Amino acid sequence: MRQKLSVLRACRQVLRPGGRLAFLSIQPSPGLAPDERRKANKLGPTAVAVPTSYPSLLVTAGFDDAVATDVTAEYRATQQRWIDATERQRPGIVAAIGEPEYADRVLRRRGTLDAIDAGLLARFLYTARR
């Protein structure tokens, strides 16, 4: 959490007054029970586990007008397209990175897709003003 807060504070420093910040985050879906949240943390990218909310981090970093927009549906569609394209390009990708790495990447993407479908992971666009 400290590292994320440090990054947000640094972003605020480089913005002029009234400047806006925008970023995307993959995170556990809001309102999960503790056991579901732990599962979401395991299934999502390594940066998914945040002990507090991004809006509260933005406020702590000194930002105003923090807005969260759920873009999970768009993210799910992107994940599916990535899997489809990866499977179409399998021979070339395997030649470049090897079968074990290819299989691991596809497995992780499928796990993320399954977690989205199970309501465990969500993607949000956050915007805030200095």
What are the residue boundaries of the structural domains of the chain, listed by start? 2-129
- Encode 51-104 in three state secondary structure: CCCHHHHHHHCCCEEEEEEECHHHHHHHHHHHHHHHHHCHHHHHHHHCHHHHHH
61-117 pLDDT tens trace: 999 999 999 999 999 999 999 999 999 999 999 999 999 999 999 998 998 899 999
pTM (predicted TM-score) = 0.82
pLDDT at residue 48, rounded to an integer: 67
Mention the CATH class of domain 2-129. Answer: alpha beta
